[in-house]
A and B are shown apart, each in its own frame.
Chain A
Amino acid sequence: MGSFSIFPPRASAGAAEVDALYGFLLFVGIGMTLLIFFFVFVFAIKYRRKSPEDRPKAIHGSIPLEIAWSVIPFLIMLVMFGWGTKLYFQNYSPPTRDTLDIYITGKQWMWKIQYPGGQREINELHVPTGRAVKLTLASEDVIHSFYIPAFRLKHDVVPGSYQTYWFEPTKPGRYHIFCAEYCGTNHSRMIGWVTVMDPVRYQTWLSGGNTSESMAELGERVFEQYGCVTCHVLDQQGRVPSLRNVFGKPVQLDNGQTVLADESYIRESILNPNAKIVKGYHRDIMPVFQGQIGEESLLQLIVYIKSLSAPANEVSK
C-alpha cells in the first residue's frame, strides 16, 4: 500500500511544530508503556508462584522510590506542559499586523467564507503560502468548530462571540475542513476543503472571482442601510464617537476601564450598545441592533470600520 502515515498532511510550519511535540509525547508514552509492560511481565514470570505454601516477605514501601517515581515523571510532564503551552499561545495569538483576514460564518450545516476583497465561498477556503492568515469565526446558531487537520488547528465557533486563530501555510494542496463540535443532523456533512496556493496562483484566483465590491465596500452599504451613517458621520465629532481610526486602538470607557477596539468590541457595540459607553458620551442614544443584523453583515460592517483606520490594519487584498 502507498504511503500510510500516522500523520495527516502537514501544510504549515505550525503543524510541523505540533508533530514534533507529538513525537516527543509518543516517545515518552511508548517508553513508559514498554517500561511498565516489561516490569510486569518480568515480575510475573520471575516471581511466579512455586508452591501453595509460598510466604513472601513483606516489603512495605520505600520513600526514596516513591519520591523518585513521582518527581521524575512530573519533571518530564513539565516539559510537555511548557512546550504545549508555548505552542498554544502562539497559535491562538495572531500577529497584530500584516495578516490576511478571512471571515468564516458557520451555520447548520455549512461554512460561509468571506474574503476582504468581497469574494464569497461555501465550504471552500483559499489561502496563499507564505502569508499569516487570520480566521475570524462566527456562528449563526449553535456551537460548531472549524477544524483543519493539516494545520493541526481548530477552535469552537460559538454563537454570540468571535473566535480567532491563525496559521501560515507552507505547502500547496487541498486539505480537509471538518466541523468538530456536534451540531445536529448533518454535523458530519459540514465539511469542506482548504486550498493552499502559491502567491502568484492565489492572485490569479482572487482576480478570477466575480465580485465587484470588496468586503469593506459591502460593509459601507450595510452602514448606510441600517442608518449608522446618520449619527456616525465620519470626521465629525458630535453626540457619538467618530469611527475614524477607532479600530485596533484602545478606548477609554466611562467607568474608567480601557478596552481594545477589536472585532468583538465592535460587534458588541452594535448589538448591545449600552454594555460599554465611551468616556464623554451618553448611554441610550444608539439603538440596539441585537437580532436585526445577520452574522455575515456584521462581519462586513466590521471590515468597513477597520478600513477607516490607519494602514497598519489595512484590509484589502
Chain B
Amino acid sequence: MSTTLPHPELGVQTNYLNADYGWKSWLFTTDHKRIALLYLFSITAFFFVGGAFAVAMRVNLLSPNGIFAHDTYNKLFTMHGVIMVFFFLVPSIPATLGNFLIPPMIGARDLAFPRINLLSWYIYIVGGVMALTAIVRGGVDTGWTFYAPFSSTYSNTHVILAAMGVFVAGFSSILTGLNFIITIHTMRCPGMYWSRLPLFVWGHYATALIQVLATPVLAITIFLLCLERVLQAGIFDPNLGGDPVLFQHLFWFYSHPAVYIMILPGMAVISELVACFSRKAIFGYGFVAFSSVAIAVLGFLVWGHHLFVAGQSMYASMVFSFISFLVAVPSAIKVFNWTATMYQGSVSYDTPMLYAFGFIGLFTIGGLTGLFLATMAIDVHVTDTYFVIAHFHYVMVGGMVMAYLGGIHFWFPKITGRLYPEVWAKFAALVIFVGFNLTFFPQFILGYLGMPRRYATYAEEFHLLNVMSTAGASILGIGYLIPMIYLAWAWRHGPISPQNPWHAKGLEWEQSPTPPPTFNFIEPPVMTEPAYNYSGAEEEVELG
C-alpha cells in the first residue's frame, strides 16, 4: 500500500484510483475509498438479485390464482426480503457513501480502523455467499422475519444457512458502525467542532449508534433460533413449554431500530443535497442534528408496535403506540427544516436535487402512513396487509433508495473524477418517481380493502389494483436499469470533472482533490467556518 504523498504533475494526478493497480491492490486495500467501491459493487449486485425476486413476485401477482407454486412464491418473498433488508438496505449508504466521505468530511486521512473496515467487507461477502447458497440450494420460506415456531420447527427449507448468513452479515454492520463512532470522536481535524460537522456525519453517527447496540440482539436471536432448530429444546415451541411471542420481541428489538439504520443515512444525504442545491445553510442545523440522535434513541423503544395483534398486553401496546407517535416528531422536524432551507435560497434542479425533492415527498407519505400504523385500532385492521408493505416501501424505496441515488449522483464526480450525463439522469429520476408511485400507491388501497401480505393467490376483487401495481413495477425496473448504464458509461467516458462542479461547501469538495489522493488531502485540512457557510459569513455564528 503506497504511502507517498501525491505529487501533482502536469495533467496527471495520482489519486486513489490510479495509485496502485492489480487485483491485490483492491482486495487487500485498507483505503476507505477503495473499500467503499468494493461495497458499492457488491451491494449493487445484491440489489439486482433482490430486485429479480421482486419482479418474479409481481409477475405472479398478475393473476389472482398465481403462476408459481405456492412454495415457490413463499420462497420468493422471503428471499426478496432477506436480500433487500440485510444485504442491500442496511449496508447501502453507510458502507458506500459513508465509508468514502466521512474521513474527508471531517478532515481525516482514513477511518480509525482501516483493516477492520476491510474485514467488515469480507464478513459481508461471507454472509452474502451463505445467503446465496441457501437460495441456490432451494431457498427459504419463512419470511424475512423468521417467526417461530414455523421457522424453528415446521419449515423444511434452508433456514439455518440463510439465518446464519444474516448473522454473519450483522457483524459487518457492527464493525462499520464501530469504526464510524470512533472516527468521528477522535479524528476530526482542527476546527471541526461537533457543531460544525456536516449533517451527513451527524446522521451516520446516529446510525452507527444503532448498528452497534441493536445488531448484537439480532445476532443472539438468530443464534437461539438456529440452536433451537437443531436441538428442539422448546424455547419458542409452546408444546414444549416455550413462548413463540418471545421470539417476536427479541427479533423486533433489533429489527425496528434497523429500519432507522436504513433511513437515517438517507436523511443524512438529503441534508447535504438540499443545502448545496439551495446554496444555503440548512435551516435549524442544531435541530436536524439533534433529531438524528433522537430518532436513534427513541427507535429503541417502539418495537412493540409490531406486536399489537400478536398477543401483547393492551397496556404495553398503548405505551408502544405513544412512543411511536413521539418518534415521528423528529422525522417531521427534518422535513420541515429541509423545506425551510429552500426559502429565500437559490434552488437549482440538478439531478441530485430532483432525487431530494422525490425523497421529501415520498418520505412524507411513507412517514405519515406510519402514523396510521401507530394508531392501534387502525393497525388491527391493516397490519399484515398490503398497507404495511406500501408503507415501508414508501420510506425504504421512495425514501432511502432515492436518497442513495441522489447521493451517488452528487458525489459521482468526487468518486470517479468524471461527470455523468445530466439529461439521461433527469430522465431516469422521473421514470423512477413515476414507476415507484404506480407500483406502490395502489397497495395502500389494497391493504385497507383487506388483501393480506405474503399471499401467493388473492381474492378476485383485488385483481385490478394488482395489475396496476405490476405495471408500475415494470416501469420502476426500467428506471433502475437506466442509471446502471449511463453511470457505467460515464465512469469510463464521461467528461473530466472540475474540482467542485456543484460549488458545494464542505471539506470533501473544497480541500480534497477530485478524485481524492489516497490520504485525501494534500495539505492538512483545517475547518475555519461553520458548516454550509454558503453566504460567506466571516464570523462564527452562534447556533441555537
Contacts and interface: CB of A to CB of B under 8 A. Distances in A.
B372 A163 contact: no
Contacts of B533: 58
A41 to B, nearest CB: 9
A158 B310 contact: yes
B378 A84 contact: yes
Given A73-B329, A81-B325, A149-B449, A88 B384 contact: no
Contacts of B528: none
A295 B76 CA distance: 33
A159 B66 CA distance: 29
B390 interface: no
Given A29-B369, A187-B454, A159 B238 contact: yes
A282 B208 CA distance: 55
A196 to B, nearest CB: 16
Contacts of A74: 325-326, 329
A59 to B, nearest CB: 6
Interface stretch (A45-53, A94-102, A302-310): A45-53
B76 to A, nearest CB: 13
B448 A60 contact: no
B348 A48 contact: yes
Contacts of B325: 74, 77-78, 80-81
A87 interface: yes
B305 to A, nearest CB: 11
Nearest to B346: A54
A1 B519 CA distance: 65
B284 A61 contact: yes
A58 B322 contact: no
A259 interface: no
A25 B378 contact: yes
Contact of A160 (B243, B328, B543, B544): B243
A316 interface: no
B401 to A, nearest CB: 19
B278 A160 contact: no
Interface string A20-37: 011001001100110011
B300 to A, nearest CB: 20
A186 interface: yes
Contact of A84 (B241, B335, B339, B377): B377
Contact of B448 (A7, A65, A160, A191): A7
A189 interface: yes
A241 B326 CA distance: 49
B47 interface: no
B530 to A, nearest CB: 9
Contacts of B349: 44, 48
Contacts of B333: 66, 69-70
Interface string B215-241: 000000000000000000000001101
Most buried by B among A60, A65, A180: A60
A225 B539 CA distance: 89
Contacts of A280: none
Nearest to B537: A58
A290 B239 contact: yes
Interface stretch (A119-127, A138-146, A211-219, A228-236): A138-146
Nearest to B286: A61
B347 interface: yes
B424 interface: no
B360 interface: yes
Contact of A91 (B377, B503, B535, B536): B377
Contacts of A22: 372, 378, 448
Contacts of B534: 55-56, 58
Contacts of B454: 182, 187-188
Contacts of A291: 239
Contact of A54 (B142, B279, B332, B378): B279
Contact of B377 (A48, A73, A87, A179): A87
A201 interface: no
A155 B376 CA distance: 12
B294 to A, nearest CB: 11
B238 A88 contact: no
A43 B332 contact: no
Contacts of B244: 143, 158-160
B150 A47 contact: no
Interface of A: 6-8, 17-18, 21-22, 25, 28-29, 32-33, 36-37, 39-40, 43-44, 47-50, 52, 54-63, 65-66, 69-70, 73-74, 77-78, 80-81, 83-89, 91-93, 108, 141-143, 145, 147, 149-150, 152-156, 158-161, 163, 176, 178-189, 191, 272, 290-291
Given A36-B335, A156-B309, 9 more contacts: A21-B377, A25-B378, A55-B535, A56-B280, A60-B543, A61-B285, A84-B321, A181-B384, A184-B150
19 contacts: A21-B378, A29-B365, A29-B371, A36-B339, A56-B345, A57-B344, A58-B281, A59-B343, A66-B333, A85-B318, A145-B309, A153-B381, A158-B310, A180-B383, A180-B384, A181-B147, A184-B150, A185-B141, A187-B454
Interface of B: 66, 70-71, 74, 141-143, 147, 149-150, 154-155, 238-239, 241-245, 278-281, 283-287, 308-311, 314, 317-318, 321-322, 325-326, 328-329, 332-333, 335-337, 339-340, 342-349, 357, 360-361, 364-365, 368-369, 371-372, 374-381, 383-385, 445, 448-450, 452-459, 503, 533-537, 541, 543-544
Closest 10 interchain pairs by CB?
Answer: A160-B238, A149-B450, A87-B377, A84-B375, A54-B346, A88-B376, A188-B455, A43-B342, A58-B535, A152-B381
